[in-house]
Amino acid sequence: MALLWPLAAGAEPTTTDTIAVNVDQAKLVKLPGRVATIVVGNPLIADVTLQAGGIIVVTGKGYGATNFIAMDRGGEVLVDRVIQVEGPTDQLVTVYRGIDRESYSCMPICQRRVTLGDGETYFKSAMDQAGSLSGQAVGSASAAGKSN
């Protein structure tokens, strides 16, 4: 037994727990409080942001799997976990027009849902509308703040 202790002490911390998150959604995960640095394997798949107290925010950005490594100030690996980013859980309807794809969220009425992999024209049109709406909301909030 005494011979096994040095091997166990030098073993890297690994966890087989996979963090599952949907694309375009976030999940909170508690890590040890002494985490100082986070490294993400593929930031196109997931983003990981360190918050106070060892809380991380994992955001799904693209489909697939990647990993993240959490280290303390001395560079010791505290956590090495897999992040699996999956598709949306709502009632998604996909329409194909030739090679172009359009996605709709149908809960209970079908409305445009911009999803990774949609056709460029559809994607750009939906994003332009969302940006315009966001700009109008910011402009209205600024105007309301000035009139008070």
CATH for 13-86 is 2.60.40.1080
Token pair of 82, please? 């897999």
Q: What is the pLDDT of residue 12?
A: 46
Distance CA 101, CA 56 (A): 34
Q: What is the pLDDT of residue 141?
A: 63
pLDDT digits (tens, 9 = 90+) for 83-110: 999 987 678 888 999 999 998 888 888 8
Q: What is the pLDDT of residue 4?
A: 39
Average pLDDT, the chain: 83
Picking from 65, 62, 41, 40, the residue whose alpha carbon sits closest to that of residue 50 is 40
What is the identity of the amino acid at 3?
L
Q: What is the pLDDT of residue 43?
A: 93
Query: 43 near 25, Cβ under 8 Å?
Result: no
Domain ranges of the chain: 13-86, 92-137
What residue ranges of the chain have pLDDT lower than 50? 1-15
Residue 108 preceded by cis peptide, ω within 30 = yes
Kind of pairing between the strands at 26-30 and 18-22: unpaired
